[in-house]
């Protein structure tokens, strides 16, 4: 038998979601069987409803074989570099400037030095996060950036903040703006462009269409020209939708690809500038939470990273 007392970072989620996170060795099919066999108790009573929302202080008892309860604490994040460039931090969130060349999460190379591990390592060293004291939660990123895109990433330090941030992002209440360099002029000084996007099943690449095709999803991208530098254009981009490679692929689709982009850019121009990493930076973020949100104190504040390296290197 395994017993849990629901802590602050566990409450507010469904009991089935909690169990799968708290007991990663327990197969989902076995969990459902435990519910059917009345082997899961909530506050001393048989729990039949897998969707019940947990409250702080709830008691859960799970009756199953001991093999499902063996749990090794994963401390691999301690192998990451914990020196991070912090833009803003409070008790709930952490806003960090991600450098170019660092993945946000673990990839196929099993490299432990990624942004989420760096953030967890930093919080561990500061005695803010300890996996020994958590049943189901670990600090998590709320937005993703490509490995070779630099700039702002947002991390939640507790479960409540994670829920609020994810909800706000889904409801377009978080405004994210990017800086980039295009190798050809944009069609106008500013515009909102619409197209249709599909991530291809083979290879990490997307296709863009002006017409709606089955399997494609609508994308909306706003741009504003900041300054023209001879053959290069410095632009500000705002994502209205957020899909894989949206900025890179959408700008290439309108014949204004990003300098250094090896996937959607122009190889000869990249070679001429000796630039082989996309000049794209998640430059600023602004929040607009609901008034009753626990994070509403962040409303109206704009957080920016430093000017990206490429603005100094290529714009002269």
Tens of pLDDT, residues 233-264: 999 999 999 899 999 999 999 999 999 999 99
Whose tokens are 């038998």? That residue is 1
Is the pLDDT assigned to residue 184 strictly greater than 80?
A: yes
105 band by pLDDT with thresholds 50, 70 and 90: confident
Burial of 154 (0-12, 13-18, 19+ CB in 10 A): buried
Among 112, 137, 171, where does a domain finish?
Answer: 171
pLDDT reading at 64 higher than 90: no
81 to 90, 93, 119: CA distances (angstroms) = 21, 19, 9
Which residue reads 């099943």 in tokens? 201
- Are 207 and 272 found together in one domain? yes
Indicate whether 208 belongs to any domain.
yes
Total number of domains constituting the chain: 3
Active-site entry in 146, 191, 210, 290: 146
Question: Of all helices (H) and strands (E), which one includes residue 155?
Answer: strand 150-156
> pLDDT class for 110, splitting at 50, 70, 90?
low
Same domain assignment for residues 186 and 276 = yes
The residue with tokens 């290529």 is 314
The answer to the question of residue 307 being in a domain is no
pLDDT reported for residue 107: 67
Question: Residue 282: left if φ>0, alpha if ψ -120 to 50, beta else—which one?
Answer: beta
Q: Is 113 noted as a catalytic residue in this protein? A: no
Domain assignment present for residue 289? The answer is: no
Residues 6+ apart with CB under 8 A from 215: 198
Same domain, yes or no: 164 and 207: no
pLDDT of residue 63: 93
155 and 191 inside one domain = no
**Residue 85: which domain range?**
76-171
Question: pTM of this prediction?
Answer: 0.88
Residue 291 lies in a domain: no
Residue 189 lies in a domain: yes
Instruction: Single out the residue in 46, 68, 90 at which a domain terminates.
Output: 68
Residues 38 and 12 in one domain: yes
């Amino acid at each position: 038998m395994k017993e849990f007392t629901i802590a602050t970072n566990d409450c507010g989620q469904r009991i089935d979601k909690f169990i799968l996170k708290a007991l990663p060795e327990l197969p989902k099919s076995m969990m459902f069987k435990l519910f059917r066999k009345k082997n899961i108790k909530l506050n001393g009573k048989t729990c039949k409803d897998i969707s019940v929302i947990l409250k702080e202080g709830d008691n859960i008892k799970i009756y199953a074989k001991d093999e499902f309860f063996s749990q090794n604490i994963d401390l691999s994040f301690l192998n990451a570099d914990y020196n991070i460039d912090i833009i803003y931090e409070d008790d709930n969130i952490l806003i960090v400037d991600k450098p170019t060349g660092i993945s946000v999460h673990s990839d196929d190379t099993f490299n432990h030095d990624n942004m989420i591990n760096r953030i967890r390592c930093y919080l561990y060293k500061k005695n803010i996060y300890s996996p020994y004291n958590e049943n189901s939660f670990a600090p998590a990123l709320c937005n993703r950036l490509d490995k070779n895109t630099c700039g702002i990433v947002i991390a939640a330090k507790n479960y409540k903040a994670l829920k609020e941030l994810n909800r706000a992002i889904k409801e377009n209440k978080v405004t994210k703006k990017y800086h980039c360099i295009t190798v050809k002029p944009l069609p106008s000084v500013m515009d909102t462009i619409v197209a249709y996007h599909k991530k291809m099943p083979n290879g990490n690449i997307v296709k863009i269409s002006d017409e709606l095709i089955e399997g494609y999803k609508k994308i909306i991208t706003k741009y504003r020209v900041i300054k023209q530098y001879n053959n290069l254009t410095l632009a500000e981009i705002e994502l209205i939708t957020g899909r894989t490679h949206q900025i890179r692929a959408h700008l290439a689709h309108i014949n204004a690809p990003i300098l250094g982009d090896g996937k959607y850019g122009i190889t000869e121009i990249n070679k001429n500038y000796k630039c082989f990493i996309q000049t794209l930076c998640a430059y600023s973020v602004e929040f607009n939470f609901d008034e009753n949100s626990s994070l509403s104190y962040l409303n109206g504040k704009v957080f920016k990273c430093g000017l990206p390296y490429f603005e100094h290197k290529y714009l002269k």
